[in-house]
Amino acid sequence: MIYFIEQCLNGVQLGMMLFLLAAGLTLIFGIMDLVNLAHGSLYMVGAYFAATFVGWTDNFLLGVALALVATLIVGMAVEVVAMRRLYGRDHLDHVLGTFGLILFFNELVRLLWGPAGMTLPLPAWLNVAVPLLPGLFYPLYRLVIIAVTIAVALFLYVLVMRTRLGMLIRAGASNREMVGALGINIKLLYTLVFGLGAALAGLAGLMQAPILTVQIGMGENILIVAFVVIVIGGIGSIRGAFVASLFVGMVDTIGRAFFPDLLRLILTREAAATAAPALSSMLIYLLMTAVLVLRPEGLFPVSNR
Amino acid sequence: MIAAPNARNLLVPALLAFLLLLPVYTSLSGNTFLLTLFTRILILALAATSLNLILGYGGMVSFGHAAYLGIGGYAIGILASEGVTSGFVQWPIALAVSALAALVIGLLCLRTRGLYFIMITLAFAQMIYYVGAGLARYGGDDGLTIQRRSQFGGWLNLSNKTMFYYLCLALLLATIYLVWRLVNSRFGMVIQGARSNERRMRSIGFPTFRYRLTCFVIAGTLCGLSGALLANHTDFVSPAMMYWTRSGDLIVMVVLGGMASTFGPLIGAVALLVLEEALSGITEYWQIILGPLLLLVVLFARRGIDGLLDVSIFPRLSPAKALEAKVGRG
Amino acid sequence: MEQARSLRLMLAAAGGALALGGFLALPPGTAVAQQKAIKIGFISTFSGPTAVIGNDMRNSFELALDHLGRKMAGLPVEVIYEDDQQKPEVGKQKTDKLIESDKVDFIVGYIWSNVLLASLKSAVDAKTFLITSNAGPSQLAGELCSPYVFSTSWQNDQTPQAMGLYMNQKGVKTVFLIGPNYAAGRDMLAGVASTFKGQVIGQELTKWPDQLDFSAELSKARAAKPDAIFVFYPGAAGVQFLTQYTQAGLKGQIPLYTAFTIDETTLPRQKDLALGVPGAQQWVNDLPNEQNKRFVADYIKKHTGSRPSFYGAQSYDAGHLINSAVVAVKGDTAKKEDMRKAMVNADFKSVRGNFKYGNNHMPIQNFYLQDVVKDQDGNFVLKTVATIVENDQDRFHDKCPMK
């Protein structure tokens, strides 16, 4: 039972990480109609910046804050230099152009930081396990991740629903031309939105860094899952992204945890150990296919132009 | 109809001549690596040509085409590891399985459009990737070594590098010809019409779904053939051949070479892989150039290299062209 | 319109120049007649979190060449290092390139068993000598053995087998096994199970190399209440495992026994987490023979701040093994059969002490118990505590058809 609760918490934590990525992706797609494959690269860049700045300043929080700012700046720079020219074009153009950016970022990171990757060690005060229930020790850091992402989700909600900027974002998602015609500086809006998405991706990357590692290409695996999330949730909907990421995070984690045991009833140990992670990874895609077949607009479709 | 002397009509025959004569050069110079490299290029050009059929002509952006490379390859690998090494058994099975997979995937995916189509083809490719990674008996993530290549009795010896190269070249040219015939037939017209305006095609009375599905299945089968060749070429299959970034590579080849052009995919494959091989010898950071180059191609040279080849060599000699220039094109 | 056209022409010209330059830069065929050199290809991992292992192997191999005066039988030595990125298909590609394009005389390296297995056929088919200085999959010692393949390391099962023997000595009755799900991981866990006399009450194989989060497996282990946990996690995964094992509060509760999880590449990060956790190895840095003392001392001098690991020691030996073959044929590397005969004799001074080869070209050697202690400078070092088994031969040599 304890084990099950632990796995549920792990599932929530993974879901929250996915939300950070998916929120940025869905915002960018919803507002600028841009398919951004390079989102995973921003995730990677955030992690590298964090590892570097924490190493330089020897202060975890300061390093993390600096990394977020740096990723925001990089995101906005990418938007101004490259993304701007892709607006309005075919989605295939977006896919190809941003695919090129993935290659570019991977090599740039390799050039600047070397091929070996980095580590981001946790400060001692975060590296403890807290007793949540009798017998259940859960790492404090993972609880922090969950708390931070919930805070970010609330912040996004307030931003989109209650501020003027959020109103512009929602309006731009519904009718881009009209917003431009009303005299709003659409270019600046887009740059800010892209920067926000980049910062979210960077935050996800740097939070994952102490648990996994910081290495080149780390964004590619999780990017696809993030796309699955936004398709399930409904492209353009942050609420949909939240629900879908929790859903996908839980399915993936519970699947990985319990599927091997299920399979071991039928297969040998090695076969079960090989097949289980593969099959539980498939689950997510099966889920997405089912959603696309039954509800092609996703779970929370954004009422559109 | 004599073709106007433009760059394409010079480059393509030159390229074909080069490909035909390459084994002569390599056997004289002893540079077998070049032969290996170009065999790989030919195999991937075949895959790219099959993708061009649905992507370039049909407008179906499939981000999961590499799955068929894997299906064809694993068919060979699994059969070989179970003791079935006869090519006469393996290859038809590889093609049949690829066709079946394409049929199933097409039935489910072709109802969607745009980004959703991209995502759902990607999803299926990843699922097949994970199936491959989950096959413990056939190596899973570690991959599967193919101890003996497909045997064709006394007819073909695939272990003979030169013979294998010419087989790949022949199959590639046959595929290019097949695609060319398809595209210029009534079938092809419907496909291209459906790409431009599906509603209109349907209102004329064409069951576009059936046409597109057939197109999709043909493309998948041809790619499965490419996978079978690849398995024989590398004596190794692994799930990595199906990962989504490989599908991306194929799309890059098609777009770089020139979508909806006959020799575009071949040119794209040659360009990309030669560049990759050569540049990585000069600097290990060559992808830093390739990435932005891709972006530039998307922004400025949308029709790829083939589009760039639309340059007339002797613009003044052609009276028709001179008149056109005067009157001005739209 | 004109602007677009000229832009396109420029792009075309640039592309053409690039293509031409690229084509001219393609590797040439037979090299222009130059002084013959001994060409060695070295395949290891130089990117990602396990790059530290690859670098250690490279440093050690380079040190071996330095000690040999960078010549073998009077001919200069050329080494080409390639990165397998820890992926079997990349390793195979690089192997093919080294054989076909660079035309190397020897291929050395291979950290990972799955990479080695993927690349094996290429080397054997081309009759190029392959010296594995780490990976030792069971298939290689058995049915896939080849006259062209030699090992300067061990067979995967041997080290955990020694650990199993040690666990018997310590009176451990039940054990829970955890390891990565790839060729070597499976070999390791099978190796322990083969010599351990008690009961294996649980076994978990994790996804490799992606999964670095072992909280699920540690929970399962804790729930099973074994006498001990055995673990195999090379490189950065070993650091992660030890960290999470400590974080989960298991360190005082359930003793941990390891193979290849604590070594000089991971110890700097594991630090006091590794104190009291035993491992088994065929080489520890304080083995008292002359060549080992020289190797370790010169390595520390050349690379201040780091010590060589067993990965490096094995690569160092590989350099000397190759040298013994080249010297035997006086530099005529076409005499493959003679080189093979020379290598079979293992006639060189190994840093682990002298050893012999079995019929499958796997070393027959001692295994020692290593423990982590703090030396007088406060550094964490590995120390030889005891000899677990002497002249151990792998259990697959009967399956190898070679005599």
3-state SS string over chain A? CHHHHHHHHHHHHHHHHHHHHHHHHHHHHHHHCCCCCCHHHHHHHHHHHHHHHHHHHCCHHHHHHHHHHHHHHHHHHHHHHCHHHHCCCCHHHHHHHHHHHHHHHHHHHHHHHCCCCECCCCCHHHCCEEEEECCEEEEHHHHHHHHHHHHHHHHHHHHHHHCHHHHHHHHHHHCHHHHHHCCCCHHHHHHHHHHHHHHHHHHHHHHHCCCCCECCCHHHHHHHHHHHHHHHHCCCCHHHHHHHHHHHHHHHHHHHHHHHHHHHCCCCHHHHHHHHHHHHHHHHHHHHHHHHHHCCCCCCCCCCC
Token couple for A26: 């869905």
In angstroms, what separates the C-alpha of A191 from chain B's closest C-alpha?
A: 19
Report the chain B residue with the minimal C-alpha distance to residue C117: B145
For the stretch B162-169, contacts whose Cβ atoms lie closer than 8 Å and that sit 24 or more positions apart, written own/partner, are: B162/B23, B162/B27, B162/B35, B164/B39, B164/B232, B164/B233, B165/B22, B165/B23, B165/B35, B165/B38, B165/B39, B165/B42, B166/B23, B167/B229, B168/B39, B168/B42, B168/B43, B168/B46, B168/B229, B168/B233, B169/B19, B169/B20, B169/B42
The answer, for C118 touching chain B at a CB cutoff of 8 Å, is yes
The answer, for C7 touching chain A at a CB cutoff of 8 Å, is no
The answer, for C203 touching chain A at a CB cutoff of 8 Å, is yes
Separation CA B153–CA B9 (nearest Å): 40
Average pLDDT over residues C366-381: 87
Separation CA B41–CA B35 (nearest Å): 10
Identify the domain boundary among C281, C307, C327: C281
Report the chain C residue with the minimal C-alpha distance to residue B11: C16
Residue C77 backbone dihedrals phi, psi, to 5 degrees: -110, 135
Same domain for C326 and C263, yes or no, is no
Separation CA A170–CA A304 (nearest Å): 10
Reported as type and span, the H/E element at residue B156 is strand B156-157
Same domain for C97 and C117, yes or no, is yes
Tell me the ipTM for this assembly. Answer: 0.81
Q: What is the pLDDT of residues B113-146, one digit of tens each?
A: 788 888 889 889 988 998 888 888 888 888 899 9
A101 in Cβ contact with B291 (< 8 Å): yes
Q: How many CB atoms lie within 10 A of CB A151?
A: 10
> How sure is the predictor about A125, in pLDDT bands with cuts at 50, 70 and 90?
confident
Is 60 exceeded by the pLDDT of residue C26?
no
Please report whether residue C128 resides in a domain. Answer: yes
List chain B residues with CB under 8 Å of C30: 29-31
Average pLDDT over residues A157-162: 87
Beta pairing class for C149-151 and C174-180: unpaired
Q: Which CATH number fits the domain that encloses residue C194? A: 3.40.50.2300
Site from A41, A94, A107, A111 to mutate, B interface, most B CB atoms within 10 angstroms: A107
The answer, for B301 touching chain A at a CB cutoff of 8 Å, is no
Site from A17, A137, A261, A279 to mutate, C interface, most C CB atoms within 10 angstroms: A137
Is 60 exceeded by the pLDDT of residue C34?
no
Site from C5, C9, C11, C205 to mutate, B interface, most B CB atoms within 10 angstroms: C11
> How sure is the predictor about A285, in pLDDT bands with cuts at 50, 70 and 90?
confident
List chain C residues with CB under 8 Å of A211: 212-213
Q: Nearest to residue C40, comparing CAs of C61, C25, C54, C56?
A: C61
In angstroms, what separates the C-alpha of C212 from chain A's closest C-alpha?
A: 6
Separation CA C10–CA C12 (nearest Å): 5
**Residue A229 or residue A278, greater confidence:** A229
Residues of chain B with pLDDT under 50: 1, 330
Q: What is the pLDDT at residue B330?
A: 47
Characterize C41-65 residue by residue with b for buried, 16 or more Cβ atoms within 10 angstroms of its Cβ, and e for exposed.
bbbbbbbbbbbbbbbbbbbbbbbbb
Same domain for C186 and C328, yes or no, is no
Separation CA B159–CA B165 (nearest Å): 10
Average pLDDT over residues C65-81: 93
Separation CA A291–CA B329 (nearest Å): 47
The tokens 């009375």 sit on which residue?
A: B205
Contact: B299, A293; criterion CB under 8 Å: no
Separation CA B282–CA A105 (nearest Å): 19
In angstroms, what separates the C-alpha of C312 from chain B's closest C-alpha?
A: 25
A208 in Cβ contact with A14 (< 8 Å): no
Q: What is the pLDDT at residue B235?
A: 92
Same domain for C45 and C143, yes or no, is yes
Task: Work out whether the CA dihedral A10, A15, A20, A25 comes out positive or negative.
Answer: positive
In angstroms, what separates the C-alpha of A193 from chain B's closest C-alpha?
A: 21
Is 70 exceeded by the pLDDT of residue C35?
no
| Residues making up chain A, counted from first to last | 305
C1 in Cβ contact with B3 (< 8 Å): no
Q: Report which DSSP code applies to B152.
A: E
Q: Helices C51-67 and C310-328: crossing angle, nearest 10°? A: 40
Query: Structural domain boundaries of chain B?
Result: 42-243
Q: What is the pLDDT at residue B317?
A: 52
Residue B154 backbone dihedrals phi, psi, to 5 degrees: -90, -5
**Residue C377 or residue B54, greater confidence:** B54
The answer, for C252 touching chain A at a CB cutoff of 8 Å, is no
Q: Report which DSSP code applies to B86.
A: B
The answer, for B130 touching chain A at a CB cutoff of 8 Å, is yes
Q: What is the pLDDT of residues A14-67, one digit of tens each?
A: 899 999 999 999 888 888 888 899 999 999 999 999 999 998 998 899 999 999
Same domain for C317 and C261, yes or no, is no
Contact: C248, A269; criterion CB under 8 Å: no
Q: What is the pLDDT at residue C29?
A: 45
Report the chain C residue with the minimal C-alpha distance to residue A124: C247
Q: What is the pLDDT of residues C106-149, one digit of tens each?
A: 999 999 999 999 999 999 999 999 999 999 998 999 999 999 99
The angle formed by the CA atoms of residues B260, B262 and B266, to the nearest 5 degrees, is: 105
Q: Which are the contacts of C13, defined by CB distance < 8 A and separation ≥ 6?
A: none
Q: How many separate domains does chain C show? A: 2
Residue C189 domain boundaries: 158-281
Same domain for C323 and C360, yes or no, is yes
The tokens 């290409």 sit on which residue?
A: A217
Share of chain A above pLDDT 90, in %: 31
Bridge partners of residue C130, in order along the sequence: C107, C149
List chain B residues with CB under 8 Å of A102: 291
Same domain for C199 and C302, yes or no, is no
Average pLDDT over residues A280-296: 83
Share of chain A above pLDDT 70, in %: 98
Average pLDDT over residues C210-230: 85
Same domain for C167 and C271, yes or no, is yes
Q: What is the pLDDT at residue C24?
A: 55
B242 in Cβ contact with B33 (< 8 Å): no
In angstroms, what separates the C-alpha of B24 from chain A's closest C-alpha?
A: 36
Separation CA B47–CA B265 (nearest Å): 9
The tokens 């887009």 sit on which residue?
A: A190
Same domain for C137 and C194, yes or no, is no
Q: Nearest to residue C176, comparing CAs of C220, C216, C214?
A: C220
Q: Report which DSSP code applies to B240.
A: G
Q: How many CB atoms lie within 10 A of CB A99?
A: 23
Is 80 exceeded by the pLDDT of residue A98?
yes
Separation CA C251–CA C72 (nearest Å): 49
Site from B33, B266, B311 to mutate, C interface, most C CB atoms within 10 angstroms: B33
Q: What is the pLDDT at residue B6?
A: 77
The answer, for A304 touching chain C at a CB cutoff of 8 Å, is no
Is 50 exceeded by the pLDDT of residue A305?
no
Token couple for B242: 């199906």
Query: Structural domain boundaries of chain A?
Result: 2-294
Q: How many CB atoms lie within 10 A of CB B25?
A: 13
Q: Which amino acid, residue B197? A: N
